[in-house]
Structures are given as C-alpha cells and as structure tokens.
C-alpha cells in the first residue's frame, strides 16, 4: 500500500475514516499522516476524491473531526482526504518558534529558501506525491476525479492549487474564510518572506488574486467561497476577499462568493456551510 501504515479506523455514516502514516519524499523524507474517509459506495468500486486542506496550527485530524463533512460525503458517495498542514520534525531551528510560520503553517507552497526548501514542499506533496501514493495504495479511490477545498490557509491552498494546476486536475475548488491575497496581508508577507528566496515578489505565483488575473476566459472556473462577516481575521485584513473579487471581475471570470452575516472564522461557521460545499463538489465530481 505505497508504504501506508494504518494507525486507526473508525466507522462513520456506514463508511470508514482511516488514518495512515507513510514517508514523504517531498517533505524531506519525513513521516506524515493523513485521514481518508471512504463512503459505503467504495465497497463496490473506486469513488471520487475531495481533498480538504486545513488552516494554521491544524493537523490532518482537524477537518475530519470538526468539519462535519463525513455525513454529506457519505450521502454523495465521495471519499475525503485530509492531509497535514506542514512537514513535522524537519529539525530547523526556528521551526517551532511561531504559530503562523513553520510547523503547522506550510502554506501549501514549495519553499525555495534555505533551510526550508528541503522539507517544506507542500505544493508538490499535495498535487503530485499524495495523489500518486493514493493511486497505488490499493484503496478504492478514483484519484483522477478529484476536487479540493480548504479553510483559511487551507482555503488559500485549495484556490491557488486549483488555479495554478492544469485544467482538469481538480474539477472544482472551494474555500471557507480563505486567505485570498497573501502578498498583501501580514500572514502571507511573513510566510512568503520566509519560504521564498525571492520573498513576497516570488510569492505572487502563490497568490489567488494574482493567479485569477491570468487564468484566461477560455477556462471555466468552478469556485465557491464563503466568508463570515464577523471573522476577526477578515476584519484585521488577513483574508482580503474583496481584492480577489475585484481581480476576478476585472479579468471577466465569474466566481461564487458569499458573505455570511454574523459568522466568524471557526468550525461552527465551517460546519454550517460544509453541506453546501460538499454538494457543490459532488455536482462536479459526479458529472
């Protein structure tokens, strides 16, 4: 099973949530963990895959345990894959210093700056290595039929991976309270300044607002975004959805963005609108 070691298995909504551990080459040869939810339909054959990328300080367990996604994924016959948010144990001196950089804060990019570039290659891990390992794992997954979603830093990851990968890699993408213009916010400036040799300027290749400008009208964009109006990080200028909306409008790219009155940044918000996101992806994955 591609070196997968099963750590746990829990039945849920007639399906199974399994946790696996394996060694990742893209993450510097370090062990990493994922959760995979298999719906009952997987007993009959491979099912489409929906990836969930979690936010700052989170792990592979956060979305699986707090998102409330399993019921709806089971109802739609979708597999869910929950990766970790960074490599762990890379042995970099400042790796554990800050909650918003280093461990738990990989930002789903490939670092080009020492000493981070050996292990902090979350972009390649999510887009290349993880799908390849899942495809040869023996699990009943149709890895060629995939979509992606995420929260906060993970929403940034979901949107930027969707926009930067070849059309069809992911059939759809969605984000909850996504960081949508990281080159213009403190979180992104810190991350890109630390991970990229070219700093924030190089980080434009990992900025959803910059990417949407050049996506091209020939590509049909299937993107759903939800943002709570009482989100403190939104109020602090960390997320900047308006910048993304303006750039998409200028580029002539239609997108679906909802501002949800009274909701914050928490998993109470995510679990409220999670069913909408699962249904959105199911429509594209089952098309």
Q: How far apart are CA 149 and CA 144, in angstroms?
A: 16
To the nearest 10°, report the CA torsion of 158, 160, 163, 168.
-40
Q: Which two tokens stand for residue 74?
A: 């089971």
Q: How many CA atoms lie within 13 A of 98 on its CB side?
A: 10
Cis peptide before 115 (omega within 30 of 0): yes
E strands, the chain, in order: 5-12, 15-24, 30-38, 47-53, 79-83, 141-151, 173-176, 223-228, 256-260
Q: Which two tokens stand for residue 33?
A: 């963990």
User: Which one from 76, 151, 156, 265 is the annotated catalytic residue?
Assistant: 265
Residue 137 among the catalytic residues: no
Burial of residue 85 (CB within 10 Å: 0-12, 13-18, 19+) is buried
User: Which one from 174, 206, 231, 281 is the annotated catalytic residue?
Assistant: 231
Q: Tell me the β-bridge partners of 83.
A: 34
Residue 174 among the catalytic residues: no
Residue 152 among the catalytic residues: yes
User: Which one from 86, 152, 174, 206 is the annotated catalytic residue?
Assistant: 152
Gyration radius of the chain over CA positions: 18
Give the residue numbers marked as catalytic: 152, 231, 265
């Amino acid at each position: 099973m591609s070196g997968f070691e099963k750590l746990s298995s829990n039945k849920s909504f007639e399906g199974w949530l399994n946790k696996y551990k394996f060694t990742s080459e893209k993450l510097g040869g370090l062990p990493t963990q994922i959760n995979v939810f298999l719906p009952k339909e997987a007993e009959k054959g491979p099912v489409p895959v929906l990836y969930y990328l979690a936010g700052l300080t989170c792990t592979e367990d956060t979305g699986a345990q707090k998102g409330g996604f399993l019921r709806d994924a089971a109802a739609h016959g979708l597999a869910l894959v929950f990766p970790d948010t960074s490599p762990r144990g890379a042995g970099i001196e400042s790796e554990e210093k800050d909650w918003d950089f280093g461990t738990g804060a990989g930002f789903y990019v490939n670092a080009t700056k020492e000493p981070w570039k050996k292990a902090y290659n979350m972009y390649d891990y999510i887009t290349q290595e993880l799908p390849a390992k899942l495809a040869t794992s023996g699990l009943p997954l149709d890895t060629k039929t995939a979509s992606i979603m995420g929260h906060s830093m993970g929403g940034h990851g979901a949107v930027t991976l969707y926009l930067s990968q070849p059309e069809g890699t992911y059939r759809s993408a969605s984000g909850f309270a996504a960081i949508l213009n990281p080159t213009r916010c403190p979180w992104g400036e810190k991350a890109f300044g630390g991970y990229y040799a070219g700093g924030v300027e190089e980080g434009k290749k990992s900025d959803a607002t910059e990417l949407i400008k050049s996506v091209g009208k020939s590509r049909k964009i299937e993107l759903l975004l939800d943002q709570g109006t009482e989100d403190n990080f939104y109020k602090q200028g960390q997320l900047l959805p308006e910048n993304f909306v303006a750039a998409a409008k200028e580029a002539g790219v239609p997108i679906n963005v909802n501002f949800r009155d009274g909701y914050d940044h928490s998993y109470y918000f995510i679990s409220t609108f999670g069913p909408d996101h699962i249904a959105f992806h199911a429509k594209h994955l089952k098309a």
